[in-house]
Amino acid sequence: MAVFVKICGLTTPADVAAAVEAGANALGFVFAESPRRVTVEQAGTLTRDVPASIVRVAVMRHPTPAEWEEVESGFRPDWLQTEVADFEQLDSGTDSTRMAVYRDSPGLDAEQIAQEQRVLFEAASSGVGERADWALAARLAKTTQLMLAGGLDPDNVAAAIRQVRPWGVDVSSGVESQRGVKDPNRIAAFVNAVRELEN
């Protein structure tokens, strides 16, 4: 099965080039508090020459309407990725595709997830290598297009895909040489590990 691959937390031209060359389907740019945070201007510069076929994702967390308006108007992402509750105040008038984040935490509403066309299922904390519950993810993936995030890396992504059968996978810290610093070899290895399952 073809699996959608998103490389998240890109901050340099070399990061973007490595992800594009490896064959990623989407590039994530973080506008929330993080060592991977970029400005609207930086994201625009980094994606200036990215092929139109590659999805550009604005990754936010609890943005105010003004913060989202700045990102939307200045960066014009294809998707907005943020906590599901955030969309209640951000939905109106946006042209960006919704990617609602649901976290592996007590009180997770599986019925609500089943109503979504597509979701990102994440560990309780982002960008620190924390792994989400794959057994729970596998159940949720039967009800919607699920992008699995949290604790993935080149060594375990194949096992994750076999168990969860997700629509997509998302990686950030798992392709870094140190926190916030992407490793082009690990990016390539991650994408290759996914693609090898499709042959």
- Above 70 in pLDDT, residue 133? yes
**For position 106, what pLDDT does the model report?**
85
| Per-residue pLDDT tens digits for 152-175 | 999 999 999 999 999 999 999 999
Contacts of residue 100, Cβ cutoff 8 Å, sequence gap at least 6: 82, 83, 84, 87, 116, 119, 120
82: nearest Cα among 13, 46, 94: 94
pLDDT (average), residues 31-52: 96
**For position 89, what pLDDT does the model report?**
85
pTM of the model: 0.94
**For residue 199, what pLDDT band results from cuts at 50, 70 and 90?**
low
**For position 105, what pLDDT does the model report?**
87
Amino acid identity, position 118: R
Q: What is the share, in percent, of the chain residues with pLDDT greater than 90?
A: 85
Looking at 42-46, 113-117, 190-194, which range is the least confident one? 113-117
DSSP 102: E
Q: How far apart are CA 152 and CA 130, in angstroms?
A: 9
Every domain of the chain and the residues it spans: 4-196
- Above 90 in pLDDT, residue 35? yes
- Above 80 in pLDDT, residue 129? no
Classify residue 35 as exposed, middle or buried by CB count within 10 Å of its CB (0-12, 13-18, 19+).
middle
| Per-residue pLDDT tens digits for 72-110 | 999 999 999 999 999 988 865 677 899 999 998 888 889
CATH class of the structural domain 4-196: alpha beta
pLDDT (average), residues 125-138: 84
C-beta of residue 29 within 8 angstroms of C-beta of residue 196: no
**For residue 183, what pLDDT band results from cuts at 50, 70 and 90?**
very high
DSSP 125: S
Q: How far apart are CA 5 and CA 168, in angstroms?
A: 6
**For residue 4, what pLDDT band results from cuts at 50, 70 and 90?**
very high
**For residue 112, what pLDDT band results from cuts at 50, 70 and 90?**
very high
- Above 70 in pLDDT, residue 3? yes
